[in-house]
A and B are shown apart, each in its own frame.
Chain A
Amino acid sequence: MTTLVIAEHSNLTLRASTLNTIAAALQLGEPVSVLVAGYGAGTAAQEASQVVGVHQVLHADAPHYAEQLAEEMAVLIQKLATDFTTLIAPATVFGRNLLPRVAALLDIAPITDILAIESNDTFVRPIYAGNALAKVQTLETKKVLSVRPTSFEATAAQGGNASVVKIEACAAVRLSQFKSRDLASSDRPELAGARVVISGGRGLQSGENFQMLEALADKLGAAIGASRAAVDAGYVPNDYQVGQTGKIVAPELYIAVGISGAVQHLAGMKDSKVIVAINKDPDAPIFQVADYGLVADLFQAIPELTAAL
């Protein structure tokens, strides 16, 4: 009865999601092994061995694992699966791409995007874009799972001392080839689809002061928006506007800076998952919809917040 965590890594280092996944795996109460399959991934494997709670690290190294393509990885994991009752990966693009392929090869129905572990065979996952939660029980002999990293607090990266076992790579299947990767440069995400949105209002007092928000946005990978008042005052162009007559956004995190919260603005952002309001006026209506309100002078709070991240 053992669990295999499929590590997401860059060959040089583990991705943060791997630590959350290990944490979820530990909740199942069985010894946790971690698979680091890559090319020149010795440092990542070493790193995995240091993670608290890891029992052993399986390290497969071959050129065809360099990009961790699903077709190559799935065959390797299928072979390893005989030794494990649970396979678990992060529900990131990497895990989402790979895990169902593994499951189908094993003829196991997987459970993906788990938010909470109820018991050894029962898990909670979101459906309908999180507008409902399903408690799902698996009837399978093996469990193939992916977990949402943000739902499991990362386990400590240092303090463990697992053995690293080199394992043999499978023959390359070469169904697809990696060509290139183009990670977003400093380009901001689009307002409508961004995971984090930071909006500024009249409180910023000038267009130049929006640069303060940009520094914060860079840290958070956020898009920048504005209230109608800020647009009307000419601080930023029209297409920044969030609200009734502007864009409607529903990011995971919405930070309203120096925005009083006119109804028309609220109409554009009230469906955001978490709303933060920073305003020096404690009576500003924006505080009525905010999950976290900070009554403060934004010219102090924003640089402080940027520095703290």
Chain B
Amino acid sequence: MKVVVALKRVIDYNVKIRVKSDGTGVETANVKMSMNPFDEIALEEAVRLKEAGIVSEVIAVTLGTQACQDVLRTALAVGADRVVLIETDVELQPLAVATCLKAFVQKEQPRLVLLGKQAIDDDANQTGQMLAALLGWAQATNAFKLEIAGDHATVTREIDGGLETLEASLPVIVTADLRLNTPRYATLPNIMKAKKKTIESLSPADLGVDPSPRLKTLLVSDPPVRKPGIVVNSVTELVEKLRNEARVI
């Protein structure tokens, strides 16, 4: 069976982001970009399923500009069999991505789609669930463990305060959480080989999708700066502040 893995190119998690002074977004020019870390985990899971003989082909797909080719090259170097760029210059929002992916999945007919639980740029945590809805498939988000036996997937999910196990018949959408696996490093020989493979290209129009944004970002700003600390006079006051001011308990 085939598996599709959806990847997003984001600002590298080590980069300290800078909000643009005009408030239109964060600075992305001359900033190191990488594959979204949760998507790396999703890709790793797909490659492991292939190594275990459960999956026959791993197809990695991403959406965006030509620049996104680098994450696809990385995907090839990690073990994807085919990679596809759905090319567009439009600002992509999760619903548009899910709609494009739906059309792509219908074209490729995989039995499993793996995605990261969220991208570390917009932190939306939406695409997998929306793709499942559009396809009418079962969904298992925040996966901690994935087992596939025959036509069934058993997924243990990270939930608040513990774990939950679901079972679903294939096809199914699974989104990866941090502890699902530890992604491998791309190997040098595979990087060299990946260089020779082609990146397939599609456009949203090819898939019959209009990817225009439906939400408008009015302003991106820095979070409020940390206030200078205060000295509290009693445990009671401390508890009150933590509850009502800092809201952390």
Contact yes or no, A100 B19, CB < 8 A: no
Contact yes or no, A305 B229, CB < 8 A: no
User: Cβ of B52: which chain A residues have Cβ within 8 Å of it?
Assistant: none
Question: What number of A residues sit within 8 Å (CB to CB) of B?
Answer: 79
Contact yes or no, B94 A134, CB < 8 A: no
User: Cβ of A137: which chain B residues have Cβ within 8 Å of it?
Assistant: 215-218
- Over the window 219-249 of chain B, the binary record of Cβ atoms lying under 8 Å from chain A Cβ atoms (1 yes, 0 no) is 1111100110111101110110110101111
A137 to B11, CA, bound (A): 24
A221 to B249, CA, bound (A): 10
User: Cβ of B141: which chain A residues have Cβ within 8 Å of it?
Assistant: 70, 96-97
Main DSSP-derived SS at the A contact region: mixed
8 Å CB contact of B226 from A136, A291, A295: A291
Contact yes or no, A103 B130, CB < 8 A: yes
Contact yes or no, A274 B248, CB < 8 A: yes
Contact yes or no, B139 A176, CB < 8 A: yes
Given contacts A139-B216, A177-B166, A196-B248, contact A133 B223 (CB under 8 A): yes
Contact yes or no, B164 A181, CB < 8 A: yes
User: Cβ of A127: which chain B residues have Cβ within 8 Å of it?
Assistant: 26, 121-123, 220
Chain A residues numbered 165-200 whose CB sits less than 8 Å from any CB in chain B: 175-184, 193, 196
A145 to B134, CA, bound (A): 19
8 Å CB contact of A291 from B138, B158, B227: B227
A52 CB to nearest B CB, Å: 18
User: Cβ of B131: which chain A residues have Cβ within 8 Å of it?
Assistant: 104
Contact yes or no, A104 B130, CB < 8 A: yes
Q: Choose among B127, B137, B166 the residue with the greatest number of A CB atoms under 10 Å from its CB.
A: B166
B129 within 8 A of A: yes
Binds B, one of A43-51, A109-117, A155-163, A224-232: A109-117
Contact yes or no, B223 A101, CB < 8 A: no
Chain B residues numbered 1-47 whose CB sits less than 8 Å from any CB in chain A: 11, 16-17, 19, 26
Considering the complex, give the chain B residue whose CB is closest to the CB of A273: B248
User: Cβ of B236: which chain A residues have Cβ within 8 Å of it?
Assistant: 308
* Residues of B near any A CB (own CB < 8 A): 11, 16-17, 19, 26, 93-95, 98, 120-134, 136-142, 154, 157-169, 172, 178, 213-223, 226-227, 229-232, 234-236, 238-239, 241-242, 244, 246-249
| 5 smallest beta-carbon distances between A and B, as pairs | A104-B130, A183-B162, A104-B133, A175-B138, A176-B168
